[in-house]
A and B are shown apart, each in its own frame.
Chain A
Amino acid sequence: MRRRAWLETAVALLALVAVWEVIARLVGARFPVVPAPSEITAAGARSAYPIWLNLRLTLIEALIGLVAGSGLGLLLAATFVAWPRAEAGLYNLVVTIHSIPLVAVAPILLIWFGVGITAPTLVAALACFFPMVVGATRGFRAASQSSLDLMRVLDARPWRSFLRVRLPASLPFLIAALKIAAPAAVLGATVGEWLGTAGIGYLLFSSMANFQVALLWATMLIAAAVAAIGYLAFAVVEHVVVDWHPPAGEG
């Protein structure tokens, strides 16, 4: 049944591409901003090497950002659970920082760190940080009270009950947070590169400025595919690891 649903989606997408190709060939001359899929593929193939060089940079930034941002988020959530007083003081600060639009942060980071890998990486980390804080805090709280009581009765050390009870209980929430964080890291790195001189974000911006429409489409589709792969990777992990109970309320 699931396989059939995937098949239907794939067929629908293929049909969409076919219709797009036909329409673009019929009216292409009057509507040059939407090239045919075959033209986009050709442009992507012609520029495969520069695209790869820029993509590699973006991938490195996004990966470092994902690890650093969600790692820090996890640490902060663990702190919140260990010292509830810290949460009372810091949670609103975290929410406030999250409220600063990423696009407003990117120019500041660029001024601080100059053109290079640092600013996009930090934007990516910032994009991952908040989903992880929220997800992990909820996850650590999701442990059953009776299990926690049992650990207490057994006189277990706090870190042991954290490792044995809270962490396993939080796993569905952590993976759900990573499903959000992974594409967000790609987005963060891309936006961080817009004002820079290299990376997928730069390629998007420069091909827009130079009106290289087919290259712009090809770069865009690759960026979207990378983000989607980040999401799907954790969706697969979720499917394999978390078969005992999905987190409530996640679509």
Chain B
Amino acid sequence: MTLIRPLAAVLRDAAAVIAFVIAWQLVTVAFSVPAFLVPAPSAIAQALVANAGRIGAALGQTAAEAALGFAAGNVLGLALALLFARVRALERVGLPIAIALRSVPLIAIAPLLTIILGFGPITIIVMAVLISFFPALVGAASGLRAPSAEALDLMHVLDAPERVRYARLRIPAALPFVFAAFKVTAPAAVLAAMVAEWTAANSGLGYLIIDAGEQYRFPLMWAGIVAATALAVAAFIAASIAERRVISWPVESA
């Protein structure tokens, strides 16, 4: 998926979205669909405006928690990957565990994390850390090993110092893997924060959605879902833009 597309394609997508919303509005009004099934877009927009303060505060909280966790998880993951590249024995033992944990649905441990770390923002941030950590570690560890044997041999023949081998060869080779991980974990960090808000908070977007649902305030619930989706999409787009800025050379898109 490219981000910078021809204007015509952007317009076509926008037209499709607008047509979809109009059709949704018409169907809900024409068949008087009850709000607990699907509220009309106009009702959702109304709820969004009427509760702008509450939704804005929840959005800000979730975004901050997700961003903090994402940053910390990636710093830790990348640092450990660099260590793995230097200490092979550590990598041999640690990488299989990391690969397995990357694939395990960590979100399901939110109740456990809540018991261990208690009710509050720490649990939510740590959840986002866990979600970001393993993909960063696995991606960077594979990327640092990605340079071809020929390229490494060349560095060896040229007697390049270790620092140069990393700066010129290993780290550039790892970047596409790292950014591929970013594009997955940036929206996943939002998801993780929202899940942890179910168990460890009474604020934030995750809590707002559940709370509104339990009070049968369905337009507010959907407004929260719209806000959450926008946040996740924004996180993905930010990661894609960062990738585009940093990686100027052609790579096979992952």
Contact A101 B232 (CB under 8 A): yes
List of B residues within 8 angstroms of A213 by Cβ: 115
Contact B100 A231 (CB under 8 A): yes
Q: Let me know if B221 is at the binding interface, CB within 8 A.
A: yes
Partner of B93, one of A8, A201, A204: A8
Q: Let me know if B199 is at the binding interface, CB within 8 A.
A: yes
Interface of B is mostly: helix
Partner of A99, one of B93, B100, B139, B187: B187
Interface string of A25-49 (1 = CB under 8 A from B): 0000000011000000000000000
Partner of A186, one of B105, B190, B225: B105
- Distance between A59 CB and nearest chain B CB, rounded to angstroms: 14
Interchain CA distance A34-B236 in the complex, whole Å: 35
Contacts A8-B93, A231-B100: A187 and B112 contacting too (C-beta < 8 A)?
no
Interface of chain A residues 196 through 251 with chain B (CB within 8 A): 201, 204-205, 207-208, 211, 213, 216-217, 220, 223-224, 227-228, 231, 248-249, 251
Contact A183 B116 (CB under 8 A): no
Partner of A108, one of B97, B99, B142, B225: B225
Interface string of A84-106 (1 = CB under 8 A from B): 00000101110110011111110
The number of residues on chain A lying at the interface, defined by a beta carbon within 8 Å of a beta carbon of chain B, is 54
- Which residue of chain A is the closest to B20 with respect to CB atoms? A93
Interchain CA distance A237-B153 in the complex, whole Å: 35
**Interface segment out of the listed B42-50, B52-60, B162-170, B205-213:** B205-213
Q: Let me know if A111 is at the binding interface, CB within 8 A.
A: yes
The number of residues on chain B lying at the interface, defined by a beta carbon within 8 Å of a beta carbon of chain A, is 49
Contacts A101-B228, A103-B194, A103-B198: A205 and B210 contacting too (C-beta < 8 A)?
no
Contact A101 B111 (CB under 8 A): no
Interchain CA distance A211-B109 in the complex, whole Å: 15
Interchain CA distance A248-B177 in the complex, whole Å: 12
Interchain CA distance A112-B103 in the complex, whole Å: 30
CB within 8 Å of A: which residues of B? 1, 13, 16, 36-37, 92-93, 96-97, 99-100, 103-105, 107-109, 111-112, 114-116, 138-139, 142, 177, 180, 187, 190-191, 194-195, 198-199, 206, 209-210, 213, 218, 221, 224-225, 228-229, 232-233, 236, 252, 254
